[in-house]
Structure 1
Amino acid sequence: MFLFCCIKNYSSMEIEKKLQYLLDRFEIQDVITKYSFGQDLHQGEDRNVQEVWKDVFTDDAVLDFQAAGNPPTNYQNMIKIMRGDGVHNGNMSSFSNWQHLMGNPVVEIIGNEASARTDLWATHKGRIDVGIPNQSLYVAGAFSDELVKTDHGWRICYRKLEIHFMDNIHTVQ
């Protein structure tokens, strides 16, 4: 009943436009969250992050993680930077486990383009076998994304990492 009361003053075209906005926004939020799943579901030696990230980024997407000391690059190279290339360790190789939580997205959609800013909270547990047991790294920040609607759905074409603070904290095993 409430929904009917709210929409009865809109034309069918207005309702269709609002519904499309909601569907697009949900899909954008899912794409933003899939980034975290790509990171977190493929921990340790499993480097198959690309399996998930191909549904997150456009082929030519730029990831600007200069805040973490990495030059802007594509997502395929960022996977190598983070996980290693099979010969060299990546910058996440000193962690045994991690979790990336995304929240509070602000999304603006204009046609087939969108921008979003999403808070990030990431935790990383130090690996015992590389000499940093009892250490955890916590990162608070945000991602600023530019997205485009493709034939395969919404994809991030530009992502910039912003770090508010990082803490390396002694923990108990």
Structure 2
Amino acid sequence: MDTEETRRQLRNLTDRAEITDLLDRYLRSLDEGVFDEEWARAFHTEDVSAEMPIGTVHGRAALLARVRRAMALFDRTVHLRTNTVIEIDGDRATARGAQLSTHVPADGPAGLFVSAGHTDDELVRTPDGWRIRASALRVVWTQGTPPRLPDAAPAAEGLPAA
């Protein structure tokens, strides 16, 4: 194998590891509950677009505000992602993975709210590393009663905003 091919393969493996790490850290961060500007910059581009069960937000500031409000509805959460398939094309990549999210509501119904489905992410390489430019959460089933954002219209399919 020539040196150029070895470099290409090493770059591909490094990119995959960095993207996997970014997506894993993002889901873990949802469970840790610190949502500030530094958090938003660590995972998303300024022009991020995020499609969620009750609508889409555009821009890092809008996403940060939505995540803060939505995650405040829960005392504790555990978010898991698996079976992620990553496709890399230079400084752009896509990733699709299965997601299982378990939520303990802060107020309201006793018991858990669980959702499962998949996420589709578009990522770009930035000077600070890989960042999410677009994401879409597609929930395929839920169990339990979801809490509602106080000022939100009824959620599509009974789902909260995160």
TM-score (norm 1): 0.76
Identity, % of aligned positions: 28
Deviations 1:97-149 (A, max 9, x none): 1111111110010111111101111000123xx332x2210010111011111
> Structure 1 unaligned runs (5+)?
1-9, 84-89
1:14 partnered with 2:5 = yes
Partner residue of 2:130? 154
Partner residue of 2:42? 55
Q: Whole-Å Cα distance in 1 between the matches of residues 122 and 77 of structure 2? A: 25
Partner residue of 1:7? none
Please list, as runs of the form range in 1=range in 2, the aligned pairs for 1:19-168 lying within 5 A after superposition: 19-42=10-33, 47-65=34-52, 68-83=53-68, 90-127=69-106, 130-132=107-109, 134-168=110-144
8 Å CA contact 1:136, 1:168 repeated in 2: yes
Q: Whole-Å Cα distance in 2 between the matches of residues 107 and 97 of structure 1? A: 29
SS of the aligned residue for 1:27 comes to helix
Deviates more, 1:92-101 or 1:72-81: 72-81
Deviation at 1:64, TM superposition (A): 1.3
Q: How many residues align?
A: 145
SS of the aligned residue for 1:48 comes to coil
CA-based RMSD of the aligned residues comes to 1.7
TM-score (norm 2): 0.81
Partner residue of 1:5? none
More contact order relative to length (CA 8 Å, sep ≥ 6): 2
> Structure 2 unaligned runs (5+)?
146-162
The structure with the larger Rg is 1
Deviation at 1:150, TM superposition (A): 1.0
SS of the aligned residue for 1:72 comes to strand
